[in-house]
């Protein structure tokens, strides 16, 4: 006799974790299968969310819809897991050129303006930052301590006997008419949340990923608390305060050498950009790398396999897993459970 459940989720990165909590809330029975060593992206991520695209100073895709979901989902998860991992912060944008100031003020009066401060600072933290062109702030931004969110979710899933810590073996899947079987389990569907490893999934390896490796360093300043905890600094790289003089600095973008190895090249690039902002000495205390599941058209991928509707996918969160996951996990659950239509821009059907 097989154990009957509604859904098997493969992967407990940001996608699988947010989806698992969303399915549990919808009263579905689940089993998660994850070997955390197979992909580092969700664990090394800085977890920043930002409603503004700095390059053109426009709203990030669907920012108005996604931002309200963040509070709802992550604050709810903090309560459930009794852990603080969701932090609201202002992103301080240091201007690189003089005309950026005028452009910012012009944009602050347009639609994106609700996320932009109208105040321009001339000497923000000038004792420690190289900041001759002034700065302003993005409002309604912040970060998720992804490692803490995943670890506390992991402990919760283990305590409820919902998580198997092992590699999923695709060869062991059986697909009869109307359900799916895997080892001792029978489920309505398997939902693959494998991040970049979707590229070696036998059913979903045709999806048009354009993977991006990223490296990130952690630094320590000699004097703690130089940058207030409620801020993130951005100019070429971001500086995210973690407390007690420790900061994450990232990230690099690499499209060719797709592995999770840290490199001297990545580290030097980050250090050199950091030295253009920071006046004070720092020491690098950690260095990590991961592969972002980025897609050609930069949209998430949700939905069912075209030939085997018992197999589903939740992936393509790219550079924005923290901001995209809560809204789109909700969409996917409503699609699976109530038959609600998926938005054409994210449905897997856009590739068929
Ligand atoms: C350096 C860096 C910085 C980043 N910064 C940010 C940021 O500031 N903000 C932001 O929103 N995003 C950021 N990202 C992007 C973010 O990491 C991704 O959007 C997100 O992690 C994608 O999550 P995922 O769950 O889809 O994939 P993954 O994180 O890859 O998770 C997949 C999980 O599935 C497991 N798995 C895969 N295959 C199997 C199998 N066969 N059996 C068992 N387990 C399996 C993996 O081990 C892993 O646990 C960053 C990424 C990098 C690399």
- What are the DSSP calls for 138-158, one per residue? EEEEEEE-HHHHHHHHHHHHH
Q: Is 168 in the pocket of ligand 1 (CB under 6 A)?
A: yes
pLDDT for the residue 352: 82
Residue 34 sits in a domain of what CATH number?
A: 3.50.50.60
Residue nearest to atom 38 of ligand 1 (CA): 194
pLDDT of residue 204: 97
Q: 313 C-alpha to center of ligand 1: Å? A: 14
Residue 246 lies in a domain: yes
The domain boundary residue, chosen from 275, 292, 309: 292
Instruction: Find the 65 Cα to ligand 1 centroid distance in Å.
Output: 23
Q: Which residues of 128-157 are buried (b: 16+ CB within 10 A; e: fewer)?
A: bbebebbbbbbebbbbbbbebbbbbbbebb
d(CA 159, CA 178): 31
Q: Ligand 1 within 6 A of 39 CB?
A: yes
Which of 248, 268, 292 finishes a domain? 292
- Kindly state the tokens that stand for 321: 């897993």
- Residues 214, 200, single domain; the answer is no
Ligand 1 centroid–CA 178 distance in Å is 30
- Could you give the CA distance from residue 59 to residue 103 in angstroms, rounded to a whole number? 15
> What is the C-alpha to C-alpha distance for residues 220 and 302, in angstroms, rounded to an integer?
40
53 within some domain: no
Q: Are residues 303 and 198 in the same domain?
A: yes
Please state the length of the chain. Answer: 352
Among 269, 292, 315, which residue terminates a domain? 292
Cα–Cα dist 303/197, whole Å: 17
Pocket flag, ligand 1, residue 196 (CB < 6 Å): yes
Residue 316 and residue 281 share a domain? no
Are 91 and 136 found together in one domain? yes
Which residue's CA is the nearest one to ligand 1's atom 37?
Answer: 194
Same domain, 203 and 320: yes
CA-proximal residue: ligand 1, atom 29 (nearest) = 42
Name the residue of 17, 21, 41 to mutate for ligand 1: max ligand atoms within 8 A of Cβ. 41
Q: Does the CA dihedral 236-51-338-156 come out positive or negative? A: positive
| Residue 13 CB–ligand 1 contact under 6 Å | yes
Same domain flag for 94 and 194: no
Please work out whether the CB of residue 239 comes within 6 Å of at least one atom of ligand 1: no
Q: Is the CB of 204 under 6 A from ligand 1?
A: no
Q: What is the pLDDT of residue 340?
A: 96
Q: Distance, CA 148 to ligand 1 centroid (Å)? A: 14
Q: Which runs of consecutive H residues, i.e. helices, occur in the chain?
A: 14-25, 41-44, 63-70, 76-81, 99-107, 146-159, 264-275, 321-338
Ligand 1 pocket member 197 (CB < 6 A): yes
In whole angstroms, give the CA distance from residue 98 to residue 246.
31
Output the pLDDT for position 170: 98
Concatenated DSSP letters for 289-352?
EEEE--BTT---EEEE-SS-TTEEEEE--TT-HHHHHHHHHHHHHHHHHH-PPPPTTTBGGGG-
Say if ligand 1 is within 6 A of residue 331 CB: no
For residue 65, being part of any structural domain is answered with no
Number of domains comprising the chain: 2
Domain membership of residue 270 (yes or no) is yes
**Owning domain of residue 171:** 3-44+148-207+297-351
User: From atom 51 of ligand 1, which residue's Cα is the shortest distance away?
Assistant: 45
Instruction: Read off the CATH number of the domain in which 243 is found.
Output: 3.30.9.10
- Tokens coding 305: 């396999």
Mean pLDDT by 10 residues, the chain (352 residues): 96 98 98 97 98 94 96 98 97 91 92 93 89 93 98 98 98 95 97 98 97 98 84 96 94 96 97 95 97 97 97 98 98 97 95 87
Shared domain for 236 and 194, answered yes or no, is no
Cα–ligand 1 centroid distance for 33 (angstroms): 15
Burial profile 204-230: b = 16 or more Cβ within 10 angstroms, e = fewer: beebebebbbbbbbbbbbeeeebbeee
């Amino acid at each position: 006799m097989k154990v009957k459940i509604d859904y098997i989720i493969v992967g407990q990165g940001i996608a699988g974790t947010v989806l698992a909590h969303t399915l549990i809330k919808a009263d579905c029975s689940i089993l998660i299968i994850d070997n955390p060593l197979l992909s580092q992206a969700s664990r090394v991520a800085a977890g920043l969310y930002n409603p503004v695209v700095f390059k053109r100073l426009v709203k990030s895709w669907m920012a108005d819809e996604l931002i309200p979901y963040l509070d709802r989902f992550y604050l709810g998860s903090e309560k459930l897991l009794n852990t603080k991992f969701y932090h609201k912060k202002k992103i301080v944008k240091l201007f690189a050129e003089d005309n950026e100031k005028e452009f910012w003020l012009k944009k602050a009066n347009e639609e994106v303006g609700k996320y932009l401060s109208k105040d321009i600072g001339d000497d923000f933290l000038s004792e420690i930052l190289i900041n001759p062109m002034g700065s302003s702030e993005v409002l309604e931004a912040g970060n998720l301590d992804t490692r803490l969110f995943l670890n506390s979710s992991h402990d919760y899933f283990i305590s409820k006997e919902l998580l198997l810590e092992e590699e999923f073996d695709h060869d062991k899947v059986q697909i009869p008419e109307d359900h799916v079987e895997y080892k001792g389990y029978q489920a309505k569907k398997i939902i693959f949340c494998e991040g970049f490893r979707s590229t070696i999934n036998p059913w979903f390896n045709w999806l048009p990923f354009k993977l991006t490796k990223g490296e990130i360093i952690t630094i320590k300043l000699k004097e703690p608390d130089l940058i207030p905890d409620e801020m993130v600094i951005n100019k070429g790289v971001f500086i995210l305060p973690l407390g007690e003089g420790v900061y994450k600095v990232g990230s690099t973008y690499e499209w060719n050498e797709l592995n999770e190895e840290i490199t001297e090249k990545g580290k030097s690039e980050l250090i050199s950009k950091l030295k253009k902002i920071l006046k004070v000495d720092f020491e690098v205390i950690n260095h990590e790398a991961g592969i972002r599941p980025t897609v050609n058209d930069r949209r998430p991928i949700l939905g069912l396999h075209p030939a085997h509707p018992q197999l589903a996918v939740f992936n393509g969160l790219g550079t924005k897993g923290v901001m995209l996951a809560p809204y789109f996990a909700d969409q996917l659950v409503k699609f699976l459970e109530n038959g609600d239509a998926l938005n054409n821009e994210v449905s897997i059907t856009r590739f068929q």
